[in-house]
Structure 1
Amino acid sequence: MSDRLKALADAGVSIWLDDLSRERIETGNLAAMVDQRSVVGVTTNPTIFAGAIADGERYDAQVRGLVADGADVARTIFELTTEDVRNACDILGQVAAATEHDGRVSIEVEPALARDTDGTIASARALWAAVDRPNALIKIPATAEGLPAITAAISEGISVNVTLIFSTDRYREVMEAYLLGLERARAAGKDVSEIRSVASFFVSRVDTEIDNRLEKIGSDDALALRGKAAVANARLAYAAFQEAFAGPRWESLAADGAHAQRPLWASTGVKNPDYPDTLYVTDLVVADTVNTMPEKTLDAFADHGEVSGDQVSGRGAQAQQVFDALAAVGVDLADVFTVLEDEGVDKFAASWDELTETVQQQLDRAAG
């Protein structure tokens, strides 16, 4: 086991792998990463599944069976992806049994439903029933339409990974949706101790968008702020997390066994080669969080990442100074977060189209 990854885990950061494939499952690679690399969870998305299915022959037998059964592309995607997540949940079952929060595997509702509350709720129910594992998480986007779907899913006892969070304002709404869902679940007589949730706060995309704007502004003050926004944004989010999960309302739920909705740092692969390749891991070390990494980032941290204690707690005021400086040089932060959410929804929809095309090719080949 990498000493650096162990140090990260010992600091209270749960390491989740942002990748899944049937090859990882069947070759024992995923189990080895759990045993040897401190990985305690998995996140997925349509792009990950598209790559896995396009490159792997391990799906062929199931695809042939689905063709023989007359399955269309939508059903095929559903069957292939839920089987992978179900099997990954089984591999991580011991982690889930041994820890309070971890051992979780995420699967996403169809991205086309990002603006459809009722459709998202129906998709979440279907995925939860199909995976049929208590350590699954259903990914629901943090759009305005997704917020009531989050509450509905939680109220029914469905564990949720809320995705595509970019701003602290929206993050506060996500936490409110979660708390309201817990309260409704408790009122309905459900065991809230069985419900888990994480809130996926996207990191690198914030720097990419804001850095582009800073470079267009071009002043010395603006250029000096490059590479600072994403970490500051995440630190503000953590301060909001600490605020939301404290006080009488939360204490009442916690007394009945409820679990806090931990922040999950997503999109932690560094896009700018001028920045350290472990930036969004090293600078966001803090207890009670998850960092979901592509394997490239995990390997980089295992090789040369540094853990120098808590890098987040108590830094909210410093992070706010960064945001004040961004506004002062002319960055429209409200527009930044609107653009990022819209682009995030569009990118996930494009990923779904890619997955659909990939699976249709597999169906056509299997049909001869």
Structure 2
Amino acid sequence: MGSKRALHYVLKVGNRGQTARFYRELLGMKVLRHEEFEEGCKATCNGPYDGKWSKTMIGYGSEDSHFVVELTYNYGVGQYRVGNDFLGITIQSSQAVQHARQMKWLLAELPGGLFEVVAPGGYTFYLEDKDQPKTDPVRRVALAVSDLQKSLHYWSSLLGMKIYSKDETKKNALLGYGDNQCKLELQDIGGPVDHGTAFGRIAFACPKDELPNIEAKMKKENQKILTPLVSLDTPGKATVQVVILADPDGHEICFVGDEAFQELSQTDPTADKLLNDKHSKSVRLRGHLLGTALFRSPHRFSFGFRSGLWLGHSTMLYCYGRRQECRMVCKTQ
């Protein structure tokens, strides 16, 4: 159990500006690194999309000692359908509660000194109204399951997680790879798990030599392997090896070789500026596209992006995130 550690959870986002504001200003996280990619990931890290995308790692400290969030942005994809699979991330931070109030963000008070906020994209966060600890304040990630016993067998017996607690009445359990690590909460919802198109992925590190064994064990147990052992490149950074699995409810799980990942995940002091610059550039590009089309056409225009934004009346620009393909459909009135 001690050789594995929880790393991050992947969330797909459609609006980098609003998203960055929530994580930086409300939650008080810092941008740790930002990376841009020209084509889809071999391990579908960005989902089923082949076009240009980016990832932003954001959290309360170094990825070596903190559980962080990976924000995945696919250019041209403005929104995703949220299912019932992701139930939330719990953070101990009275500072975040205060920030939410100052920002007039919708804040729902729950019993036991807990507050609920929803991030752009529809992702739920639970804030414990206690002083933020000097160690990692991210306490747990909660995922929905359809059969708790079946899930416990998978996560504990097959993947080696320790069961820290189990509540038969509430039908949930808390698991983890270490006492001081972020925990995984499994909540039985008594029905099918719907991943929508916003489905995420939880990542863990382990020694590189353990990756083939994890893959072999899952094959032997007839469990789903989404991506067999593969090497992933990041421009200008370390190459890592990963195996991508899926639990009985289809939750995606990434195991990555820790040695190379520690090199890849070094905090970049320029990451915050890089994210800002890339976001500003993409906003200017979208504005130029809209302005040019509106100026040149003799007809009134209507633009339809996957995000559902509409302007004008007669022409639609359909953008397909899978290959960044766009086509115009013009209707004169």
* TM category, shorter: under 0.3
The structure that is helix-richer by fraction is 1
- Give TM-score, length-normalised by structure 2: 0.28
- Give TM-score, length-normalised by structure 1: 0.26
The structure that is strand-richer by fraction is 2
